[in-house]
Structure 1
Amino acid sequence: MPPTIETPPLPIDALLPELRRAAQEARRVVLQAEPGAGKTTRVPPALLEAVEGEVLVLEPRRIAARMAATRVAAERGEPVGEGVGYRTRFDRRTSAKTRLTYVTEGLFIRRLLADPTLRGVGAVVLDEFHERSLHSDLALAVLRRLQAERPDLTVVVMSATLHAEPVARFLGDAPVLAAPGRCYPVDVRHLSKPATRPLEVEVRAAVKALCRELPEGDLLVFLPGAAEIRRAQAALEEYARARSLLLLPLHGSMSPAAQDRVLRPADRRKVILATNVAETSVTIDGVRAVVDSGLFRMAGHSPFSGLPTLQLRGISKAQAQQRAGRAGRTAPGLCLRLYTEHELRTRPDHHPPEIRRADLSELLLTTAALGIDPERLPWLEAPPPAALEAARVLLTRLGAIDAGGHLTDRGRDISKLPLHPRLGVLVLEGAARGAPYEAALAAALLAERDVLRGPAAPERSAAPRGEDGQGVPVGDCDLSERIDRIRAARGDEARARSLGLDARGVARVEEAARRLSRAAPVRRAAETAAAAEADRDEGLALALLTAFPDRVAKRRAPRSERFLLTGGGEVTLARESVVKGQPFIVALDAETRGSGAGSRTRVTLARAIEPEWLLDLFPDAVEEAIEVEWNAKAQRVEVFSRLRYGRIVLAESRERAADHPEAARRLAREALRAGLHVAADPKAIEALKERLALARRLDPEAGFPTLDEARIEEAVSRLCTGCSSFAELGRLDLEAALRSLLTPEQARRLEALAPTHIALPGRRRVPVAYPPAAPPYVRAFIQDFFGLRETPCIGGGRVPLQLQLCAPNRRPVQVTQDLAGFWARHYPEIRRQLKRRYPKHRWPEDPLNP
């Protein structure tokens, strides 16, 4: 048995009796404990005396669960895994004796799926609840609901920077307890102006300054991720050797042994380069100074795929307080912030909870597996309805839930895997199609950070598939190219580096793949037989397509980098992608640059696919349709028979437009939009309308139709039958089609009342014009009216025509409706003028007897 370590008194100790009473009486407690109070290691053991059964403690990170359990076990003088243990995604130290278990929030959700009533559990503690992860919000909501069925279950919510009142109200006015922290004064300093140098350069300068000012004590440097830690470590190596400093990284993907090394006392001064895992739960003794980069990676999701991502963000004010407090745990300390006071003032007090910004498909799958309607579940903060609906659409498309939102058999299998539903489908389909390990490795690659550090060395390239002429490899799948490199590395770190791989990342991904392939449900016999004959590469491709059915895209043009997505929208393929030239792809991940109308989405991971696969996998989603389109350049209707998958066309053929009624309707719409000139002389149509209007006024009993817009559109539509272009339509007679609306008697009567022409003494017929809102008129040479005494009339003699009397140059010299008056008063003078100008023409003195 390991020796019991020293357990110095902590501020929280005085509060433990009251905590136990509240747990026994109220069964719901909210604890606000400042940094250094000791809540993580002292409160859970105290609950063992207040409740029967197991105590589960939810931690946001694996390292926090493991280290807290290790600390508590050591304080009790027992090895981890006996009375006190932990469970994380890939590590477990518990036994039949274990009553106190530290678990990650994700594993707690998985336990709920296996045992919805938490049999044998007496208390659940939600630690660091201020981080408001999706899992912690779901856990709190389910526990609140479960307490109605299990009033003996105790729920304790703890945090150092939590707003306790809303949580207490949510838990039915639960008692709120507060404990002071143990923190010495910390001198906090900021940059005088924003940093302009690379982060690792700023870190090196800050470490040097702290080492000069503080002769003893360890340094803790907060950085956003493992990549930044590696760069800072490289920048500090020379200085660390000269000053005999021990550089130690600390992040969640390190091995437990490497993490433990950070916590153990050392024979020289330590400079610990850590992510935000060192902000809470994990106490590192001996730290006197902190360097705060002001950055961290926030859990989020890819808007494109919905898969979890880590996005670089500035820390909140609460995080800045937590980080600075780490310098004052054992003695007065110093914190150098690599940002200005103004920058800090612009930061939020807390970042918004994950439920407001995350993809909710995994949450919705979990609630479906629990048989809970998420819209009826009591939430501290309800998930956004739009995000829930998007998750519902995706899960339905993946076959995880039915139209009623109930879990399907496939959904039940997916829910057993610790993965996003897309990746769960990938693993299951890969197992069914003869590529279980390849699919598990692909899922691990998509779930973890990218393992690439750069291009492979030419002489060590794995499974070359050709190049695109510019040195970029060509293949069918970006993930397969990574898998080829991983296989070629064969676990050798040096070889992995020569292949452009992050050796540690590869090890992490391979371990995840092994566990996932073992966790996949056993295939049915029929699937096993089919998979035995399937090509592994094609099996992986089909599995990827099944997991990303809504991310199929088609190249816009043969050599274009632009693709149209099945759901609409456009993406471009990354230059470094190995998928070149193929017309159809499934886009596995993408990044969006810019915002608003100027944003561009760039596909970073893709797999070439065959359109026939879509017919095999999603027959109900492939639709055959006749589509009518307008070719504006050719001014014609074109008809296509198309096989569509969403917005993209898989195959098409041209049909004869004249055979389709919709083609005629489309031609009519375009003709009316363009104007009647494409089908007739607009003046002739307008004249016919005016003739009919005049005839209706003169003979209302005749029933002449009104040529309104609807009747004209109807006539155009009839005329378009059998036509497909403006050229064909122009060879037809719209005016005749409109006249066909009249009965023979109406046509005869119309010609009598509003004739198209009249005869003049000059022995020629002249057309009658019918302008809108003006009297009908005829235009002719003066000579054509010689011998005519009175103004000609139409409408049975009731409507005198306006006469436009023209000179030989065809310009009117007189407009009148009184021809007799013109001859008597105006003709003599006009005759003298015109006779001088046009002496070769006849100009009789008596126009009535020429």
Structure 2
Amino acid sequence: MVTLPINDALPDLIAALKAHGRAVLQAPPGAGKTTVVPLAMRDAKIVPGKTVMLEPRRLAARAAAERMAQTLGEPVGQTVGYRVRGETKVSKATQIEVVTEGILTRMIQSDPELAGIGAIIFDEFHERSLNADLGLALCLEIAGALRDDLMLLVMSATLDAEPVAALMGDAPMITSEGRSYPVETRWLDKPMRKEDRLETATARLIEKAVSETEGGVLVFLPGEGEIRRTASNLNLPNNCHVHTLFGAMDFKAQRAAIQPADTGRKVVLASSIAETSLTIQDVRVVVDAGRARRARFDPGSGMSRLVTEKVTKAEATQRQGRAGRVAEGVCYRLWTKGEEGGLLPFPPAEIEAADLAGLALELAAWGAAPSDLPFLTQPPSGTFQEAQNLLQMLNILDKDGRITPHGETVSRMPLHPRLAHMLALAGKKAAPLAALLAARDPLARQAPVDLSLRAEAIADLKRFEQARPYQVNRGALHTIRDEAKRLARLAPETNDMSLAEMAALAYPDRIGLRRKGDAARFVLSGGKGAVLNDEDPLANERLIVATDLDGNPREARIRQAIAISEAEVRSLFADQISWEDTCAWSKRDGRVVARRQERLGAVTLDDRIWKDAPDDQLAKAMLDGVREIGLRPRPAALRFIARVELIRKAGHALPDMTEAALIDSIDDWLLPHLNGVKTSDQWKKFDILDALRAMLDWPQMQLLDKEAPAHFTTPLNRQIPIDYAGEHPEITLRLQEMFGQKTHPMVGHTPLKVTLLSPAQRPVQTTMDIPGFWASSYGDVRKDMRGRYPKHPWPEDPTEADPTLKAKRRS
């Protein structure tokens, strides 16, 4: 029997589980923890019931169960069995059951006490999948409230174990040192150039690895597209057999990739599916392209998208370990040793970046808020709220966030809540569509986005290929068909709905209306924008349902959609369609536009002029126009504002009339005066003085007129406006009008700045001391002005002359 590194840690692990019922096990890749620990716990007879072990992927779950069964010399389904989506191999004799992570949540929701289960093992917990985080939180709550005998073990290769151990009540941490075999790491001599394609560079590195080493080669790439393009770039010796390995492949093809090669060398191009819990036979070399694909969720758009990022140090270590499973190995990395220092230590937990609709539904079914459960990482509040909003839109949660009877039905279906909602209402006929929307696109990327094309291919592949020129991924199509059969067994009887109506049930927030005059651009009922390729046949449809978007928060590109009629939309969402009367400022038209609109969310199905819109609503809309155009006060209004600001700054309680303050409070002081103003031209003719004056009550006006009067009364009893906009209050008038003025004009205790004009209205003197001017420089002004304006009086002593605006009488 082969001795694996994990064997040295087994005594401490068994002792810890016996004493505490909980433990965290750290074991590097290749240590053998996945297939050895469950059997060791069984042999030690420490588990009071069945052991359930969680695996992040179906392939890993099957492979682990088969390996343990082989160790016992039994077929799968006896002592060791597995349960994954669409397939179960267990019996009454099964003591160890390997399941994918979502299965545990279903088991807990249907039986919170987990009757008959003595231990739960969370394998590869470092991946921090959403289901694993939720499963551990639920199990910790069950163990604390219902099952203090429930044994919990978290196993990982690269996990920061201390926070997990603390979450589990300071559970003991056990470490297994060393790998099965040492792995040499080789880096690039210099960084890749920006213009180099990942697939081309990876292909050249694979060729180099094949030429320098012996044994099987495992290559890590982000996803299927990169895998296929890299394969097409390879130029390998004839004895090399290339296999691909990614999640969308059927199990038979996946199994072929992990089996030993009959002859020659095996080269496996794999996604992250091969990182953990999986020993690929004969592999002695790893080529790591250094990229990982992750789902990112944008709560603003309500959409997820896959992004390709650099691997983290933990992921690189995990991948490197694949080379040391069966013999000494070599790991080639598509980056330099210097670049390695810039890698993040761990990937983000899925709960921090993923769509949380499923989590929100599970917690509602459990009757708990996120803060009620011991999550290692709490879900982001904004993303979780978006998820709850979606579930309320689908009538899965009520307005208080509690699960509805419809939500109870949906929660029992192993689908995203959108698709489960559709299946529950549309019935068995919707099963193929649910399976399609949950899977990868079976048509090549060059195919039109029309969802009905995919439905044709699923229904009759032979006829589709005869009638359509689009390439079909047969493996993906068969997977969809198999899943559709399984889902049909879970669905109620079929309701009579079209494909478009079914899609709209799942995506009520993605019903798109084509923008007027703008083919291929749509506004979605959820409020976001979406765009199609101009040449796509759906580009000119008035209404569509977008079932797949790239997640761009500004304007998402539509990758899958279907045309829908207005009658179908009205039939489905009659209770959500309503008339809304709107008055809004139109910047383009320069006026208030009053409309009556029939809407489904942000989609306007009917739009009419609102002829009898109330004056108050028109005025409110005009305020937006005022904000855009500006206040544009006339001179009298500007003087009034300046007076108020002068007195306010002196410490008196008057309204703030700075421009910013007036704009901020515009609803309060301007709105009552806007009746009849609906266009930019009307606003430009509007005088805001009366509205400003109305901001002051009677005592405030009295104070203003006393401390900062609007006018100065000249010796001729003429009122001259006082300008308060400058540093000093100022008046401007003809010099002759001030004859006889023996004191300087004042505002309160402040002297006025006086600008004296010639008969031609040109300034001849600016003074803040009229008596001083008469006594000094007036004489020089008189000499100059007498020659220029002989018809006007220029007395030697202006203090004794009568004020006048008239010229001398002819003799």
Same fold per superposition (TM over 0.5): yes
Structure 2 match to 1:379:
375
1:504 aligns with 2:475: yes
Q: Deviations over 1:325-379 (max 9, x none)?
A: 3323333222222222123222222212212212211012112222333321112
Structure 1 match to 2:651:
none
Structure 2 match to 1:322:
318
Q: Contact between 1:625 and 1:642, CA under 8 Å: does it hold in 2? A: yes
| Secondary structure in structure 2 of the residue aligned to 1:605 | strand
Q: CA deviation at 1:583?
A: 4.1
| Secondary structure in structure 2 of the residue aligned to 1:445 | helix
Contiguous gaps of at least 5 residues in structure 1: 1-6, 457-472, 694-705, 796-800
Structure 2 match to 1:428:
424
Q: Which structure 2 residues correspond to residues 520-539 of structure 1 after superposition, within 5 A? A: 520=491, 522-523=492-493, 531-532=495-496, 534=497, 536=498
1:445 aligns with 2:398: no
Distance 2:682 2:422 in 1: 55
Q: CA deviation at 1:141?
A: 1.0
Distance 1:67 1:676 in 2: 74
Q: CA deviation at 1:17?
A: 4.7
Q: Which structure 2 residues correspond to residues 289-308 of structure 1 after superposition, within 5 A? A: 289-301=285-297
Q: Contact between 2:754 and 2:767, CA under 8 Å: does it hold in 1? A: yes
Q: CA deviation at 1:447?
A: 2.2
Q: Which structure 2 residues correspond to residues 443-482 of structure 1 after superposition, within 5 A? A: 443-455=434-446, 478-482=450-454
Structure 1 match to 2:80:
84
1:606 aligns with 2:552: no
1:72 aligns with 2:31: no
Change (3 A) 1:730 1:391: closer
1:38 aligns with 2:32: yes
1:219 aligns with 2:234: no
Distance 1:302 1:804 in 2: 65
Structure 2 match to 1:139:
135
Distance 2:376 2:655 in 1: 66
Q: Deviations over 1:127-153 (max 9, x none)?
A: 111111111111111111111211222
Q: Contact between 1:300 and 1:311, CA under 8 Å: does it hold in 2? A: yes
1:591 aligns with 2:550: yes
Distance 2:772 2:202 in 1: 107
1:230 aligns with 2:224: no
Larger radius of gyration: 1
Change (3 A) 1:716 1:443: closer
| Secondary structure in structure 1 of the residue aligned to 2:595 | strand
Q: CA deviation at 1:101?
A: 1.2
Q: CA deviation at 1:400?
A: 1.0
Structure 1 match to 2:95:
99
Q: CA deviation at 1:313?
A: 3.0
TM-score, structure 1 as length reference: 0.76
TM-score, structure 2 as length reference: 0.80
| Secondary structure in structure 2 of the residue aligned to 1:579 | helix
Q: CA deviation at 1:831?
A: 9.8
Contiguous gaps of at least 5 residues in structure 2: 647-653, 747-751, 802-807
| Secondary structure in structure 1 of the residue aligned to 2:371 | coil
Structure 2 match to 1:642:
597
| Secondary structure in structure 2 of the residue aligned to 1:378 | coil
| Secondary structure in structure 1 of the residue aligned to 2:118 | strand
1:549 aligns with 2:508: yes
Q: Contact between 1:54 and 1:100, CA under 8 Å: does it hold in 2? A: yes
Q: CA deviation at 1:104?
A: 0.7
Structure 1 match to 2:649:
none
Q: Deviations over 1:207-265 (max 9, x none)?
A: 44344434x532322333333333343444x6343xx2333333333333333334444
Distance 2:690 2:174 in 1: 93
Structure 1 match to 2:805:
none
Q: Which structure 2 residues correspond to residues 190-201 of structure 1 after superposition, within 5 A? A: 190-196=187-193, 197-201=196-200
Change (3 A) 1:777 1:370: closer
Q: Contact between 2:731 and 2:753, CA under 8 Å: does it hold in 1? A: yes
Change (3 A) 1:52 1:582: same
Q: CA deviation at 1:623?
A: 5.0
Q: CA deviation at 1:805?
A: 9.2
Structure 2 match to 1:699:
none
Q: Contact between 1:307 and 1:420, CA under 8 Å: does it hold in 2? A: no
Distance 2:161 2:666 in 1: 73
1:261 aligns with 2:256: yes
Match of 1:177 among 161, 166, 174: 174
Q: Which structure 2 residues correspond to residues 538-577 of structure 1 after superposition, within 5 A? A: 540-575=499-534, 577=536
Q: Contact between 1:558 and 1:581, CA under 8 Å: does it hold in 2? A: no
Distance 2:710 2:160 in 1: 88
Letter in 1 for 2:546: A
Q: Which structure 2 residues correspond to residues 273-284 of structure 1 after superposition, within 5 A? A: 273=268, 274-284=270-280
1:24 aligns with 2:18: yes
Change (3 A) 1:600 1:549: closer
Change (3 A) 1:12 1:834: closer
Change (3 A) 1:412 1:833: closer
Structure 2 match to 1:246:
241
1:11 aligns with 2:10: no
Structure 1 match to 2:112:
116
Change (3 A) 1:407 1:806: closer
Structure 1 match to 2:147:
150
Q: Contact between 2:443 and 2:471, CA under 8 Å: does it hold in 1? A: yes
Distance 1:141 1:64 in 2: 23
| Secondary structure in structure 1 of the residue aligned to 2:18 | helix
Structure 2 match to 1:188:
185
- Percentage identity across paired residues of the two chains: 38
| Secondary structure in structure 2 of the residue aligned to 1:339 | strand
Q: CA deviation at 1:275?
A: 2.7
Aligned length: 767
Change (3 A) 1:510 1:308: farther
| Secondary structure in structure 2 of the residue aligned to 1:81 | coil
1:270 aligns with 2:265: yes
Q: CA deviation at 1:755?
A: 11
Letter in 2 for 1:267: D
| Secondary structure in structure 1 of the residue aligned to 2:120 | strand
Match of 1:401 among 393, 397, 400: 397
Change (3 A) 1:660 1:381: same
Distance 2:641 2:127 in 1: 78
Change (3 A) 1:201 1:766: closer
Q: Contact between 1:496 and 1:503, CA under 8 Å: does it hold in 2? A: no
Q: Contact between 1:571 and 1:601, CA under 8 Å: does it hold in 2? A: yes
Change (3 A) 1:653 1:256: closer
Q: CA deviation at 1:105?
A: 0.7
Q: CA deviation at 1:732?
A: 8.9
Change (3 A) 1:733 1:93: closer
| Secondary structure in structure 2 of the residue aligned to 1:663 | helix
Change (3 A) 1:654 1:518: same
Q: CA deviation at 1:634?
A: 6.2
Distance 2:28 2:686 in 1: 89
| Secondary structure in structure 1 of the residue aligned to 2:158 | coil
Letter in 1 for 2:241: L
